[in-house]
Structure 1
Amino acid sequence: MSLKNKTIKDFVNYLSADFFVKGFMFLSLPLLSRLMSPEEYGRMSLFVSATSILFVFFSLNVQNAISNRLMRTRDDFSSYLFSCLATVIPIQFIISIFIFMQARTMSTYFGLTILEFRFVVLVCWLLFFFNLYSLYLQAIRDSGAFSKLSISTKCIEVVLIFVFCYFFLVANKHYSKIYAQVIVLFPVSIYIIYKLWLLVEVKYKISHVKSAFLFAIPLIPHVVTNSMLAQADRLLINKFLGPSDTGVYSFAYNISICIVVFIMAWNSSWQPKLYKLIETGSQVEAKKVILKSTCYLLLVTVGLMVFSYEISNIISANDYANSSKVLLLLIMGNSLIHVYLSYANYIFYSKKTIFISISTTVSLMLNIALNYFWIPIFGIEGAAWATVLSYATLCVLNYIFSVKYLKLSNLSLLVFIGFFCSILVTYLVCEFSLEFTTINSIVIRTSWLALICCVLIYLVKKLERRVSERNN
């Protein structure tokens, strides 16, 4: 199978898996909004936030180092995998003991009870093996096995959440997420440990450990700050406004994740091919693919923004009615992840990950500062705007590092400017349309979508024509 066809097949598999998983979860949102109060939904989201942030410190980002090494070369991988696991697992035991000792203080910071926080540690253990094996499957480009693993585990988890919510839990229904995750991940992790054991060669090499940590450790600030960029707003909303508003915001955020499905599915299939194009010096081909994918992603983003009000009204119960105010903004913010990755993938390839850590740290500091000022004044809409501006900053900083400073890429800043201006104008059109009747509002927004579609089709055809002329 050619590299191009393999990339398309992987993209379809990753997208299908993400669509099935996220689609299943998306369809479950109307039921969850009727089974859980906003406060219970907010407490569930706080558990997810704590798990996402603590997992970075717990895993030391070693799973990404292993995946990156495998995408580059398979030479002596069995020894590399054993060396990494033999080093990181004892460290994880020490980290677990420390977290258990500090559970009372740390649980307060995340807005959790001590019992909930201890469950966070258990889930981090299980997620380490699950994420490691998932990344391994992506690195060897076994998108079929990855899809089966993702779909089966997540769907069973969602079903169990409903079972616990409806049949077993009268109060504290947010525990349904905790119980479901542990029940699903525990047997799966045992199976994964067995599969990993078949892959390793019991040969410890300190050079492998050094190589892994040189990649992983500088990335920890990036992964932590990236996680906090996605989670800090909920922690601060809980601090200033309480768990009920946190639940409404989290509900809208989970709807907006649909745009990330397209982004991450594409990036999972594109990144290995990009590395090969860089190695062969095919920068022009890489740029062409990135520009075309950006046009397609922009069309999806505008489409979701245009119909965001209707999506929110259909999915949410009355208690979550305010989620429509922030859904439009959160789709904007999350769509910028594609532009950020377009620049950042070059830095990942160069392994100069300290620059990614710098950019995410700056963006996080901006995000926290804006949230502190805007949440008390503007409520959850202030948090949504902080997300948009933080991701925009992340795009610009990664452009500066990858193109101007490290000179790894020839991508123009116009990729970001064109994308950002398009979604900003779309936001203004959507807000303007609310001044009219429902029918007229839909006509205005649909007309704008049609115009964007025509412009993007023209740009893609023009790009293909230029590439064809250059090749001739």
Structure 2
Amino acid sequence: MVKSIISKYKNVPVEVKASIYYTICSIVQKCIVLITLPIFTRLMTTQQYGQYSIYQSWMNIVAIFATLNLQYGSFDTAMIKFENDRDRYISSIQGIVSVLTLITLIIYIIAPVFWNDLLELPSILVLAMIVEILMSTVLTFWTNKQRFMYKYKPMIIVTLIISVASPLIGLVGVLLFEEKGIARILGNTAVYLCIGLIIYIYQLYKGKALYDKKYWTYALKFNIPLIPYYLSQMIFNQSDRIMISRMSGQTNAALYSVAYQFAVVLVFVINSINSSFVPWTYRSIKDKKYNMIKKVTNIIIIFIATMLIVLILFGPEAIAILGGSKYKDAIWVVPPVAGSLLFLFLSQLCINVMFYFEENSYLVKGSILSAVLNIVLNFLLIPVFGYVVAGYTTLFSYIVFWLSNLYYMNKSCKDKIEDYRYDTLFDWKKIFIIATAFTILIILLTFTYYTIWLRIIFVGIIGIIALLNRNKIIEYFKLIKG
């Protein structure tokens, strides 16, 4: 029996093994974050945890300018285009990031007081941020190359070391020092510095160049036009916490952050579904199998909506475990933020098609519109209704993001697909009905937070419906698998 399993395992293609291990690694990473979160929320005050969450938010935004997101965008295409010179390409763009982070450091040194006030962070954390941006980007270059070459073992080892060491060292720092927010951040930075520096030297040794005109030109030309898109997406994900901190205090930013981390816990599942769905969609468009796209898409949307509803129903219990009693008011953030993930997936359906037809300019327009709307709504509503409203501005902005991408997708398809109608690729009439019912439902589910019995009944109803329709559900999964 064991020999048979080992034999079958050896015959599994390396691409499949790599995909399986990457997925397991992602799940383990997410589990470590969720397991350690209750420890830190109980050891740190809400203000200290708020400082940590604000640091993370600002770092993600600053990183776009300090790295141009060179680890994304152009990287995969470069691994194909420069297949025989990958090491030199990586060491060269490492040089770009090194120069950009040095420029970032100089800009900070010129006016440290201004930047400290803007970021709401002391100098030591701003310097730590710049170091972590450089080292984490270098590590991402390396891990992306390992993924591309299906060398999953070293990538998984390094990823798990970081995933375990970062919270462990952070925990030691939190226990030993009074400034627990700073200790948590510096512990994380120390891990990235130690491992990232080794990878930096190794990649420089392999590529033997920090500058290559050909590779610098290629990377900069590809990624600079995408900066508005990357920035708008980061604003979607991070601006809520920054604005809450500025307008309502770091304590409320901490409450929102804990609820947000739970609400988006399924985002990696949705991203995995989309990653698997994209190649099939592209083949189906090429083969003009439009009806099959409609059928499978509707099933996936209902599946994602159901997962999100179950997640929302367990919101109060999850926040109680993750944050404790001092975070109990954060439960009201969970429904709208979790609900926004469905509209993120609907937007991705449109974005996939635009990428297929190489209409990237439309993508940037929709992203900027929605990001600006999110900021304006937060600016107007947070002072009036408090931090919880940021969850609803996120939901509304993602709905607008979806509708704008739907508009631009239809516009790009008219010239690409013969006799194109708005429902040629997707059954938007049914999708609109599902999306509307889902939005109304997640708002109604907030009223069940007052009593656990209502939510238990609701979960039971979902279970009974699933049991009665099990044969149909199995057929749907077979259809998707096929």
Q: Structure 2 length as normaliser, TM-score?
A: 0.83
Given the alignment of the two structures, is residue 19 of structure 1 paired with residue 27 of structure 2, yes or no?
yes
Q: Note the C-alpha offset of 1:465.
A: 6.5
User: Would you say 1:334 and 2:325 are equivalent positions?
Assistant: no
* Counterparts in 2 of 1:455 and 1:48: CA distance versus 1, 3 Å: farther
CA 1:63/1:142 → structure 2, altered by over 3 Å: closer, same or farther?
same
CA distance in 2, matches of 1:77, 1:331: 43
2:435 matched residue in structure 1: 420
Q: 1:186: which partner in 2?
A: 193
What is the CA–CA distance in structure 1 between the aligned matches of 2:440 and 2:408, rounded to whole Å?
28
3-state SS in 1 of match to 2:388: helix
Bigger shift: 242-251 or 326-335? 326-335
SS at match of 1:64: coil
Name the residue aligned to 1:357. 364
Assess if the C-alpha contact under 8 Å between 1:275 and 1:349 holds in 2: no
Which residue is equivalent to 2:48? 40
Alpha-carbon offset, residue 152 of structure 1: 2.1
Q: Quick one: which amino acid aligns to residue 23 of structure 1?
A: C
Rounded to whole Å, the distance in 2 between the matches of 1:108 and 1:324 is 30
Distance 1:300 1:411 in 2: 21
How much has 1:153 moved relative to structure 2?
0.7
Aligned to 1:151: 160
2:173 matched to which residue of 1? 164
Tell which structure's C-alpha radius of gyration is larger. Answer: 2
Show the counterpart of 1:220. Answer: 227
Match of 2:457 in 1: 443
Who is 2:102 aligned against? 93
Q: Give ranges in structure 2 of 5+ residues lacking alignment.
A: 1-8, 418-424
- State the SS of the aligned residue for 1:112: coil
Partner deviation per Cα, 1:40-72 (whole Å, 9 max, x = no partner): 111111111110100000001222134231465
Q: CA deviation at 1:241?
A: 1.1
CA contact (8 A) 2:346 2:402 kept: yes
Contact residue 316 and residue 449 of structure 2 kept, 8 A:
no
Q: 1:447 to 1:238 in 2, by over 3 A?
A: same
Distance 1:466 1:240, change over 3 A: closer
Equivalent residues in 2 for 1:261-340, closer than 5 Å: 261-267=268-274, 273=279, 277=283, 292-340=299-347
Match of 2:136 among 107, 127, 132: 127
Q: 1:317-338 CA deviation, whole Å, 9 max, x = no partner?
A: 1111111111222211234333
Q: By how many angstroms is 1:73 displaced?
A: 4.5
Once the two structures are overlaid, the 10-residue window that deviates more, 407-416 or 239-248, is 407-416
Partner of 2:121, secondary structure, is coil
What RMSD, in angstroms, separates the aligned Cα atoms of the two structures?
Answer: 3.5
Letter in 2 for 1:430: L
Do the aligned partners of 1:65 and 1:215 also contact (CA within 8 Å) in 2?
A: yes
Match of 1:12, SS state, is helix
Kept in 1, the 8 Å contact 2:89–2:215? The answer is yes
Offset at residue 382 of structure 1 (A): 0.7
| Letter in structure 2 aligned against 1:97 | I
Measured after TM superposition, the shift of residue 96 of structure 1 is: 2.7
Query: In the TM superposition, what are the counterparts of 1:338-417 in structure 2 within 5 Å?
Result: 338-348=345-355, 352-406=359-413, 410-413=425-428, 417=432
2:182 paired with 1:175: yes
Q: Which moved more, 1:389-398 or 1:223-232?
A: 389-398
Q: Secondary structure at the match of 1:361?
A: helix
Relative contact order: is structure 1 or structure 2 higher (C-alpha 8 Å, sep ≥ 6)? 1
CA contact (8 A) 1:11 1:269 kept: no
1:40 aligned partner, one-letter code: Q
By how many angstroms is 1:126 displaced? 1.2
Which residue identity does 1:120 align to in structure 2? M
Residues 94-137 of structure 1: CA deviation (Å, up to 9, x unaligned): 23312332332122122212332222112111122022223333
What is the DSSP-based 3-state SS (H/G/I as helix, E as strand, rest coil) of the residue aligned with 2:365?
helix
Q: Indicate how the Cα distance of structure 1 residues 348 and 108 shifts in structure 2: closer, same or farther if over 3 A, else same.
A: farther
Match of 2:264 in 1: 257
Q: Which residues in structure 2 correspond to 1:105-116 (within 5 Å)? A: 105-116=114-125
Corresponding residue pairs, total: 462
Contact map agreement 1:39 1:243 (CA 8 A) in 2: yes
Query: Where does structure 1 lack aligned partners over 5 or more consecutive residues?
Result: none
Tell me, in whole angstroms, the C-alpha distance in 2 between the residues paired with 1:198 and 1:287: 50
How much has 1:340 moved relative to structure 2?
A: 2.6
Alignment partners' CA distance in 2, 1:38 and 1:370? 25
Q: Distance in 1 between matches of 2:223 and 2:114?
A: 28
TM-score by length of structure 1 reads 0.85
Residues of 2 paired with 1:244 and 1:203: CA distance?
43
Letter in 1 for 2:324: A
Name the CA distance, whole Å, in 2 between partners of 1:98 and 1:84: 21
Contact 1:83 1:209 in 2 (8 A): yes
The 2-side partners of 1:434 and 1:259 are apart by 20
Q: What displacement does 1:236 show?
A: 1.1
Cα separation, 2, equivalents of 1:201 and 1:115:
32
* Aligned residue number for residue 5 of structure 2: none
**CA distance, structure 1, for counterparts of residue 156 and residue 234 of structure 2:** 23
